[in-house]
A and B are shown apart, each in its own frame.
Chain A
Amino acid sequence: NAGVTQTPKFRVLKTGQSMTLLCAQDMNHEYMYWYRQDPGMGLRLIHYSVGEGTTAKGEVPDGYNVSRLKKQNFLLGLESAAPSQTSVYFCASIGEGLGEQYFGPGTRLTVT
């Protein structure tokens, strides 16, 4: 049981490049989330999904797209990276009910 995994762990992009971050969970969780963490700002929600085939916008969705084609995977895409997207990205998942969210180890992205 690996929990929540994220790939890649680190990435450096040039402005305008695109990339996809992959989040996978093996706990059969329904809900999945993408957050970004910036110094002094805590974690902010980018997009989330309440089930396979569904996605919804969070607090800071601009510049990102997501897809949830399979229940266990939640992909975060950057179509045209900008320096403002330099951040640490965390994926999380939760089953139904009032349990806690499980977090992945994070992806550190630098856009130059």
Chain B
Amino acid sequence: AQSVAQPEDQVNVAEGNPLTVKCTYSVSGNPYLFWYVQYPNRGLQFLLKYITGDNLVKGSYGFEAEFNKSQTSFHLKKPSALVSDSALYFCAVRDPLLGDKLIFGTGTRLQVFP
């Protein structure tokens, strides 16, 4: 069965510092991986996805993610954090056997301090 894990409930980082939000996955077959962000009282917004190709995927708002097959990881990164990046971040994997549904991690709350 497909699954993702986000080992950190919360990540704290100072504005201007690099940030990493961790995600590991377990899939059978090719992994189709996604990152979404949720701001307070809002729906989820798509950030980026990995389907195939380059291991470094660039997305919205300056975010990128590194796909590492040997470590089964898909960590979200940003070189310089902004206070406005504070939000809830979800990693997800697509399950092609179940209507292409997304299986979500439990989420990581990112707090960027000024």
For window 33-59 of chain A, which residues contact chain B by CB distance below 8 Å?
33, 40-45, 48-50, 56, 58
Chain A residues in 8 Å Cβ range of B43: 4, 90, 103-106
Chain A residues in 8 Å Cβ range of B104: 42-44
B45 touches A103 (CB 8 A): yes
B34 touches A100 (CB 8 A): yes
Whether A90 contacts B105 in the complex (CB less than 8 A), given A31-B99, A43-B90, A50-B99, comes out as no
B101 touches A41 (CB 8 A): no
- B101 contact from A40, A42, A45, Cβ within 8 A: A45
Chain B interface residue count, Cβ-Cβ cutoff 8 angstroms = 23
Whether A31 contacts B100 in the complex (CB less than 8 A), given A41-B106, A42-B107, comes out as yes
B101 touches A58 (CB 8 A): yes
When chains A and B are docked, how far (Å) is the Cα of A42 from the Cα of B49?
18
Shortest A10–chain B CB gap in Å is 10
A102 within 8 A of B: yes
Chain A 82-102 interface 0/1 with B at a Cβ cutoff of 8 Å (1 = within): 000000001010100010111
For window 42-57 of chain B, which residues contact chain A by CB distance below 8 Å?
42-46, 49, 51
Q: List, sorted by A's number, 13 A–B pairs whose CB atoms are closer than 8 Å.
A: A31-B100, A40-B9, A42-B90, A42-B107, A43-B102, A45-B98, A48-B98, A90-B44, A92-B102, A100-B49, A102-B46, A103-B45, A104-B43
